[in-house]
Structure 1
Amino acid sequence: MPQSAPVIALGDLNDPRVLRLLDDHLADMYATSPPESVHALDVSGLQHPDVTFWALAEGEQLLGCVALKQLDARHGELKSMRTDAAARGRGFGRLLLEHVVAEARARGYTRLSLETGAEDFFRPARALYARYGFLETEPFADYALDPNSVFFTLELVS
């Protein structure tokens, strides 16, 4: 029987598969960055009304997740983008990023920003963001300068 196509849908923050993926995400963040430089959201942060969380699945297999936080009526922040370790290298990070950019445009945002790590572990993510037109910028929202963080912004034009 053929495998179903990957689908991005609102994620269930009570789903054990989602919780495992988020636990893996936070574990990697704390393994690669000092605690004061980890800005990943835990489940309670993802449950905030200003945050929308999606999961990417193929059949019963959870492949990744991503969130979009509304900073104000025109500015969103990409949060918690993660591809399961077993699913890396198949273009799912690209699918998640394209989904969030499309959603930000649909919401009328003029800017989409993100924070990611400066360590080598985050090099593939930084390269992906750059390929999609994100440019390095100064800290935004409540962030402060941090040698372990890199900040990106994508200007969204209609």
Structure 2
Amino acid sequence: MTPLFYALIAPDDPALAALIARHAAHSAAHYPSDSNHNEDGAALAAQGAVMFAGRGGPAGPVLAMGGYKPIGPDAAEIKSMHVAEAARGQGAGAHILGLILAHAHAAGLRRISLETGSLPASAAARRLYARAGFVTCPAFGTYRPDPMSIFMTRTL
């Protein structure tokens, strides 16, 4: 596959809509609705999220995405990490995560946390986060403990 082109993208950019929908469909296929915490582009934009996209060409389709939203004066939460099946296994997720961590650090944030699924469908995501220095933690923010969720965090 051709290398992806990575850049900041507005959370509500229509180019993200298809991948956001695939992300939500993946979650819905594996987790009950009360354990899904996906947000659409409009909700992410309203919360001040910073998003990155990996495109298949300078103006090609978005094949990888991820971002973060502020959850406190020096903390953020990773949101909407997803790589299209066609781009998996090529480092796109790790690249997007690296962009998120670098941007959040440069923005003066000290901690970044996330919620991901506990089932095998989310095993690759959990491995990616662990390799990047995330460790499990209790539920944070407005989350409640849920056996379908794994909460992770790391300092920046």
**TM-score, scaled relative to structure 1:** 0.90
Whether the 8 Å CA contact 1:11–1:55 is kept in 2: the answer is no
**Structure 2 Cα separation of the partners of residues 53 and 100 of structure 1:** 8
**Structure 2 Cα separation of the partners of residues 4 and 123 of structure 1:** 24
User: Deviation at 1:39?
Assistant: 0.5
Residue 77 in structure 1 maps to residue 77 in structure 2: yes
Q: Tell me the residue number matched to 2:90.
A: 90
Q: Tell me the residue number matched to 1:131.
A: 131
Q: Tell me the residue number matched to 1:13.
A: 12
Whether the 8 Å CA contact 1:9–1:56 is kept in 2: the answer is no
Q: Counterpart amino acid of 1:83?
A: V
Segments of 4+ in structure 1 off by > 6 A?
none
The 3-state SS of whatever aligns with 2:150 is strand
Query: Mean Cα displacement is larger for which, 56-65 or 96-105?
Result: 56-65
The 3-state SS of whatever aligns with 2:46 is coil
Residue 147 in structure 1 maps to residue 147 in structure 2: yes
Q: Counterpart amino acid of 1:61?
A: P
Unaligned runs of 5+ in 1: none
Residue 56 in structure 1 maps to residue 54 in structure 2: yes
The 1:153/1:12 distance shift into structure 2, 3 A limit, reads: closer
**TM-score, scaled relative to structure 2:** 0.91
User: Deviation at 1:72?
Assistant: 1.3
Q: Counterpart amino acid of 1:7?
A: Y
**Structure 2 Cα separation of the partners of residues 144 and 54 of structure 1:** 27
The 1:55/1:36 distance shift into structure 2, 3 A limit, reads: same
Q: 2:23 aligns with which of 15, 22, 25?
A: 25
The 1:12/1:131 distance shift into structure 2, 3 A limit, reads: closer
Q: Tell me the residue number matched to 1:43.
A: 41
User: Deviation at 1:49?
Assistant: 3.9
User: Deviation at 1:5?
Assistant: 5.3
Q: Counterpart amino acid of 2:6?
A: V
Query: Mean Cα displacement is larger for which, 59-68 or 72-81?
Result: 59-68
Unaligned runs of 5+ in 2: none
The 1:12/1:147 distance shift into structure 2, 3 A limit, reads: closer
Q: Tell me the residue number matched to 1:109.
A: 109
Share of identical aligned residues, percent? 33
